[in-house]
Structure 1
């Protein structure tokens, strides 16, 4: 049955077309390949860097939050960084840690990318790993210094498509492996609650600039 008998057919077609156009970017992002996800994130970073001073660190944090939520699987990264102790935590502790880790990660990027001096990113290749994950090889090009190699470990998630689950600095140093070593000491000292509290403290410090 026609739900809008008084609406002209041409108007209904126009509304359907607009709805499809609005939905398209989200569908396209979910279907994007590993390199596309990384390149979209890099484009957002360059735009952020160009406007870094006007935005300030908190403005950069707000701009980065949706971009990092789309490009990174921050919940999976939290579990990887925590390691085996994760399975012994309550759901409430796990949720608190995901939130604290996510905000700390975004604040770290907001603090680090605080200006623009002609930087650019180059994607040099993509490899499919034996377990089905992907590795995207890129470099951060700097005007007055040597480029920095950044490799992204990608995982095809059930609902979000390809997402970043680790970053390898200089191509070989796992960011999450480094964090797991740091987090292990804090977890031994005070458990999940202490780690969440420490991450929140560091986030507040980063957002002070």
Structure 2
């Protein structure tokens, strides 16, 4: 037989242990987003004075540190990714990161922003945490940008970005890159950096 009072006491104690873990996860998720956005502010403010390559060089390390490039590259590649030799998978991930950085470098040429605002809370979605933010342009209305942050072997990393709360950046990249060879992916990146 079991002691009913002991079982009820155990159940009642569960939230006390679970809440700090969830709060710590949320803090880590927000910190990843904040670090990424902080690194982007200087580039956004100086974009007009920087070349495309300079913006790429400034953005690439922060994107590498913040994004789950392994998971994102696998989804962008599509079927057959796991069948690639390990060296080719690693090169595809690196080249995908270059493509993402080149996309941002090009995009920042046309964006003028004063900074970002973040909500104090996160929302749970499909095992990930969504960090809601707004980019504050120098003129016009704030633009909502939500970051889908998930636990990875490297810690909390951004797995997708939702513009205006629903437009998935990863979905756009998947459409653009699915089925491309490594050589074709590198050509796409080079063409972005030549404009």
* TM-score (normalised: structure 2): 0.76
Cα distance between partner residues in 2 of 1:167 and 1:136: 10
Q: Which runs of 4+ in 1 moved over 4 A?
A: none
8 Å contact kept, 1:152–1:167: yes
Deviation at 1:65, TM superposition (A): 1.7
- 2:54 aligned with 1:68: no
- 2:76 aligned with 1:81: yes
Which residue number corresponds to residue 181 of structure 2? 195
Cα distance between partner residues in 2 of 1:145 and 1:198: 38
Which residue number corresponds to residue 103 of structure 2? 108
* Residues 78-157 of structure 1 mapped to structure 2, 5 A cutoff: 78-114=73-109, 117-124=112-119, 125-129=121-125, 131=127, 133-157=128-152
Which residue number corresponds to residue 170 of structure 1? 164
Cα distance between partner residues in 2 of 1:136 and 1:117: 22
Alignment coverage as a number of residue pairs: 169
SS at match of 1:155: strand
Which residue number corresponds to residue 26 of structure 1? none
Which residue number corresponds to residue 183 of structure 1? 177
CA RMSD of aligned residues (A): 2.2
In structure 2, the CA distance between the partners of 1:122 and 1:202, relative to structure 1 (3 Å rule), is same
In structure 2, the CA distance between the partners of 1:181 and 1:115, relative to structure 1 (3 Å rule), is closer
User: Which ranges of structure 2 fall in alignment gaps of 5 or more residues?
Assistant: 1-26
* TM-score (normalised: structure 1): 0.71
Cα distance between partner residues in 2 of 1:206 and 1:178: 15
Cα distance between partner residues in 2 of 1:110 and 1:70: 16
Deviation at 1:97, TM superposition (A): 1.4
In structure 2, the CA distance between the partners of 1:148 and 1:73, relative to structure 1 (3 Å rule), is same
Cα distance between partner residues in 2 of 1:113 and 1:89: 33
